[in-house]
Structure 1
Amino acid sequence: MSILNINDLALQLVALDFSDEHSPNNVGPTKTSRALAIIHLAAHDAYAQVTKKFKPRLEDIPARPSTLDTSEATGSTALLCAGFRAATLLYPDFKEFIDTTAANFFNPNDGDCCSNLACKYGEQIADAWIAHRMNDGSSAPQLDTLYNQAAGRHRPDPLRPQQQTLGRNWGLVNPFVLSSVFTDAFLKAPPPLDCPEYATAFNEVKRDGKNDLPQKAPDKAVIGIFWGYDGANKIGVPPRLYNQVIRAIEDFQKLEHDRQIKILTAINVAMADAGIASWYWKYLYDVWRPVVGIREADAGWGPKGQGDKNPATTGDPFWLPLGAPNSNPINQPASNGTPNFPAYPSGHATFGAACFETAAALMGKTPEEINVKFVSDEFDGVTTDNTGAVRPKYEANFSLRKAIMDNNQSRIYLGVHWQFDATGGEEVGKAIAIKVAEAFK
């Protein structure tokens, strides 16, 4: 019984939440990252309070029953029950699945995962975490159609003209560790449309991100799809992917249980704050995606006919991206597309850098020093592409530094981000990792 069991459960819930046209309990990578953070924090604090091996993160935590011993077994029991309880509250549509999973560890008692004192205490801590985050701003409306028609501003994917934009209010959610997004994870404004940096990014994604897979360099397409996890059926969103990568690290697998608890909790807290920070900057700057920017680059095109006024760019009104992979579609064939929120900074880049930099710091290494062999769900020999063709299985071998780089670049190769989105996201993610690693050291 360990944090790995709770992490397994949480990642399965993310996949289920995005499966078979289910309306997600935690829509998008934003709410998903929050849910993962709370589940792991509840488990972390239950174990911490029982074993006294490290301090809990919740300040007003329920007092530990005096009759509870401080053994590893008792701490693990409290951890599991806290995780199961938090998961049930955050993923209510899957209560039966969670109860069935819990039954493999405990004897059910009137719907509770366990009747012993350690388990009940773990559940109290989960309830306390849910209550603590109840008014954190996450319940604000997250979908709207408040688009700005000016050049450079985010608008719907042409393949989905009725697309609503996701997460306008998410940047106002209370962070878990950051004291302020603006002070702790500051991001400067993106390059102006008429400057050389924008033109360089424009021409790169126009060339490397176009929907011409037969002509595309296979290695670029593989990198793009490998790091996808764009809310596809049975796959879910990026925070699930980055958890899987950390779990696959051999050095992580060899760690003592208490260190694994700290690292898995820290990376999910880092990604929750990454979602908040990234979405704050996304809607502050409101940058258009390549599919709109490239199609409307020339004067006369777009709602206001402004173009980007950059002499070094040439528009293509028919350009479409390779697109965020629409894997395992229920109705085949299906189109790939572009995510429904502004471009700058890249959420993938922010989540990935926050996760991998935090994990490396807490393992006492640099990202260059940590290697991993990993099979992405996008290339597991089972997942199908948007046409229904099964993709082959592929095991990649990379350092966490290369993971950060490839994860960043993957979004350009899919044609859904500009290069400055990736560099901006990595910058924000690194700033978050510093804060979170310090909090969990």
Structure 2
Amino acid sequence: MRTSVLLSVLASVAANAAYSGDIVSYLVDQTSALVNGTIIGGLQSPPSSWYVAVVTGAIYEAAVKSKKESLAYQQLAVSHAAHNAIVWVFHGTRNYNGADASLRAVLPAIGLAANTTEGKSAIETGRKAAKKVALARADDGLSDYVPFTHGPKNPTIYQATPGGNPFPDTPQARFVRPFAGLGDLTRFRSPPPPKVSSKEYEDAVRYIREQGVLNSTVRTAYDTDSAYFWRESSITGWNRFAAVILGDKLATKVVESAKFWAQLNFALANAGFASWDVKYAYEGWRPVTAFHRTDIWLPSGVNVSDPSWTPLLRPTPNHPDYVSTHSTYGGAAAAVIRAWNGGDKIDATWSSNVTLDNRGVITRRYTNLTFAAEENSRSRVFGGIHFTFAGQTGIDLGDKVARATLDVFDKNWDQF
């Protein structure tokens, strides 16, 4: 009798075994780690946000399809969805081992054997979810060739920057179909940047010339560290930040967690596409191009030429200045996290390991989402790669796109 009871208890424990943390947070973290690994070496801005949106879309699809099943079943389903979505994105890159290792590492903790009826069903659910998203995004425009021709080498017109590729990143990204059926992104297009003849423009030029240069004598140590701290990929950084804020609050709520991460990354992807629309509508030059001119180009007659001027963050990204996509991503991420959090107030400490200039690990604590987004934006000015007017406008753009994405998410999330 005692033996049969014990066996029943053990069977019950085994049936309910599951990964103890938030499986979706783990999978999102692994998604970022794989794109920034030595094999891939990172992606350009819009493709990096597109990639994580694809993965989190597959995860949410699998979570919804398995919501009535056991926790272990749900975890196994979303894990296989994430794995297959990652592999689909990176076919041909020899990143299979990394994707396999991320999945293999979590399987024992989930505890649902692949050779059981339940395990086989969960795996198939995950695979079908990844396939659905892959088929939906296969013709979304990201793979299309869109030619780009540099404009005349006149003041304020974008040109290739030192140390970058001769042509700008992914000009086709502004035409990519948004996630969640958001529709025509040109309706979010920001107003033009200030005119070169305006005081605002000249003030921005003078400010970054002093604050953004490599060996600035006026930039504070805190602002220098801000540039370093926020230097990493916005997609990686804001997902890591969100994970700290979220913690394990949704560890046993796979569908709810999957929805949050899909909302966040759909909004980030859409914000990236919208930012690219603005960039290529105005094609503003970068600070380094402005200072490397040898003539006097400011209408006021002030000479700001300095052919040796080097930004703190280098090389300067090879795409137009206005708007700052880094700022746009920050505005979008803050909007989604704010909606989930019920306000701006947070208490989150996280770190960034800065390899540039051997700066090392920087740790900061944030208690307000708006402040974090604004500091993220200002960091690009202190880094010397964006004029100030590209920043706040980017935050506003990201906020608008994210809130619009949230508005349509429940109705259109599975349009991918």
TM-score category, normalised to shorter length: 0.7 to 0.9
Question: Corresponding residue for 1:15?
Answer: 36
Report the alpha carbon displacement of residue 109 of structure 1 after superposing the two structures with TM.
Answer: 11
Residue type of the partner of 1:176?
Answer: F
- Asked if the contact 2:293/2:307 (under 8 Å) is kept, the reply is no
Q: Percent identity?
A: 21
1:428 to 397, 400, 416: 397
SS in 2 for 1:396: strand
Distance of 2:209 and 2:348 partners within structure 1: 32
Distance of 1:142 and 1:8 partners within structure 2: 32
Does 1:179 find its partner at 2:200?
Answer: no
- Structure 2's unaligned 5+ residue stretches are 1-18, 411-416
Question: Corresponding residue for 1:138?
Answer: 142
Distance of 2:72 and 2:304 partners within structure 1: 63
Alignment: residue pair count:
378
Residue type of the partner of 1:248?
Answer: V
Distance of 1:218 and 1:284 partners within structure 2: 36
Question: Corresponding residue for 1:371?
Answer: 347
Aligned pair in 2 of structure 1 residues 296, 309: CA closer, same or farther (>3 Å)?
Answer: farther
Question: Corresponding residue for 2:360?
Answer: 391
1:42-61 alignment runs, 5 A limit: 42-51=58-67
Distance of 1:358 and 1:8 partners within structure 2: 18
Report the alpha carbon displacement of residue 217 of structure 1 after superposing the two structures with TM.
Answer: 1.6
**Greater helix content:** 2
Distance of 1:78 and 1:161 partners within structure 2: 41
Write the deviation string for residues 92-122 of structure 1: whole angstroms up to 9, x where unpaired: 3211121122223449999xxx960111121
Report the alpha carbon displacement of residue 366 of structure 1 after superposing the two structures with TM.
Answer: 2.1
Which protein is bigger by CA-based radius of gyration?
2
Write the deviation string for residues 35-72 of structure 1: whole angstroms up to 9, x where unpaired: 10010010011111221xxxxxxxxxxxxxxxxx5333
Question: Corresponding residue for 1:126?
Answer: 130
Residue type of the partner of 1:226?
Answer: F
- Asked if the contact 1:193/1:310 (under 8 Å) is kept, the reply is no
Answer with 278-287 or 141-150: which moved more: 141-150
Residue type of the partner of 2:26?
Answer: N
Report the alpha carbon displacement of residue 140 of structure 1 after superposing the two structures with TM.
Answer: 1.8
Distance of 1:347 and 1:206 partners within structure 2: 21
Question: Corresponding residue for 1:241?
Answer: 237
- Asked if the contact 2:374/2:392 (under 8 Å) is kept, the reply is no
Write the deviation string for residues 158-191 of structure 1: whole angstroms up to 9, x where unpaired: x3376331121210011113211112x2311111
Does 1:71 find its partner at 2:70?
Answer: yes
Answer with 269-278 or 136-145: which moved more: 136-145
Aligned pair in 2 of structure 1 residues 15, 219: CA closer, same or farther (>3 Å)?
Answer: same
TM-score, normalising length: structure 1: 0.79
TM-score, normalising length: structure 2: 0.84
Distance of 1:296 and 1:310 partners within structure 2: 16
Question: Corresponding residue for 2:212?
Answer: 209
Across the aligned residues of Structure 1 and Structure 2, the Cα RMSD in angstroms comes to 2.5
SS in 2 for 1:372: strand
Residue type of the partner of 1:46?
Answer: A
Answer with 406-415 or 255-264: which moved more: 255-264
1:215-230 alignment runs, 5 A limit: 216-229=219-232
- Structure 1's unaligned 5+ residue stretches are 52-68, 230-236, 300-306, 325-335, 379-383
- Asked if the contact 1:372/1:399 (under 8 Å) is kept, the reply is no
Question: Corresponding residue for 1:323?
Answer: 312
Report the alpha carbon displacement of residue 315 of structure 1 after superposing the two structures with TM.
Answer: 1.3
